[in-house]
Structure 1
Amino acid sequence: MIRSDLVLRLAAQNPHLYERDCQAVVDAMLGRIADALVAGDRVELRGFGSFTVKEQRARQGRNPRTGVPVEVAAKAALAFKAGKEMRDRVNPEVALR
């Protein structure tokens, strides 16, 4: 699902709202999540999952085409961990055990 699909589904489920209002809600939510992650905070949506920023250290990599060693700079990576309810919805047969 892409952002525009999400907006259309929200608008369909909430006929009292205009599509542009649903767009504003989605943009505001995603913007706040992004702002929190940029600030180094952890974002947890109960029942869905949590987003965190993890630092990856600098390392020595290798150019796959030539095999020449290259330096890979340290960087931040986004990590997502699904919540228990979401894991159970995605894997219903595992939840029954």
Structure 2
Amino acid sequence: MNKSELIEQIAKRSGLTLVSSRNALDALLSTVSEALASGDRVQLVGFGTFKVTERKEREGRNPQTGAVINIPATKTPSFSAGAELKKSVNK
């Protein structure tokens, strides 16, 4: 399902217009993104938790040359599925 299809489903299930559904989805996504960027976690009980995890600096290898390279530390978003989501997927 892509974003347009998701917006159509939101509109159908909520009774909102397509424009209102798009605005609601965009507001949700930007709110989650801003929360993660500020270091917060977003927990939607039953659905799951969005959070930022940190990867430490590490050594890697260039696959073409075999040379050792330094891979810098990074932050990455992660998602842990909640119990309700896991149940619905495993029906």
TM-score (ref. length: structure 1): 0.86
Deviation for aligned residue 1:65: 2.1
Q: Which 4+ stretches in 1 moved above 3 angstroms?
A: none
Aligned-residue RMSD, C-alpha = 1.2
| Structure 2 spans left out of the alignment, 5+ residues | none
| Aligned twin of 1:91 | 90
User: Over residues 23-59 of structure 1, what are the superposed CA-to-partner deviations in whole Å (9 max), with x where a residue is unaligned?
Assistant: 0000000110000000000110111100110111111
Q: How does 1:17-36 map to 2 (within 5 A)?
A: 17-36=16-35
| Structure 1 spans left out of the alignment, 5+ residues | 93-97
- Matched-pair identity in %: 38
| Aligned twin of 1:8 | 8
Give the whole-Å Cα distance in 2 for the aligned partners of 1:40 and 1:74: 16
Give the whole-Å Cα distance in 2 for the aligned partners of 1:13 and 1:87: 22
Letter in 1 for 2:12: A
| Aligned twin of 1:95 | none
Letter in 1 for 2:81: A
Deviation for aligned residue 1:12: 2.1
